[in-house]
Structure 1
Amino acid sequence: MVTTGPRPHPGRTAAVVPTALVVRQLSAQASCEPQTFTGPLTVGRSPDCAVQIIHPLVSRTHLLLTPTPAGWQVTCQGRNGMLVDGVVTREALINQGTRIQLGDASGPALGLTP
């Protein structure tokens, strides 16, 4: 009998973590190139954030973006909230072409592409 190592349990697959997230600032004032990230990142006013946005509706650390086995997840940590594709929410999974507005509908926008 020849064995080649442990067999995977039927119905179980290895967790696949997304490899990259492209972030674009969509506001008229921003002339930034898209940025690509492969690990957790923050968005906010603070210079410590990976993506810094200076705007009155943006908190020091407004968003946390993390790769998960289900895909990239965005969690709002700001007191002014966020809209994901026009819907007010505190967290969401990122899909191809997701648009996030910080604060309210008049706040700065980000385009996210996993």
Structure 2
Amino acid sequence: MKIFALISFFTAALWADPIEVTIIYGNNLPDKVITTDYTEGTTALELLKKVSSVETAQKGKFTFVRSVDGVQSVVGKFGWFYLINGESVHQMAQNYILKDALTMTWVYKVEVCY
């Protein structure tokens, strides 16, 4: 059993892709930068939860990030948005499957419609 677990661990490690996660808590400066990895099928929200303390809120079938490391959204004023490789992907983080992503940036900013 131990050998199987060890083989599974190394197999997962071989298939993991590296990624740099940056979190900006509203001051336009990268406050937290973490280099980590993700495996096939990982969502943007799952990766965020891997590197930070995250609170979410459910509204219908959607999950919104309401707090990252204690920095809370203010509905209608400030919220959390993310970019993959510097680009908006126009998908909820719970639905965005990471593939070929080198960077993921979460920004706390004034809420605006895209």
Q: Above 0.5 in TM-score?
A: no
In the superposition, the TM-score normalised over structure 1's length comes to: 0.34
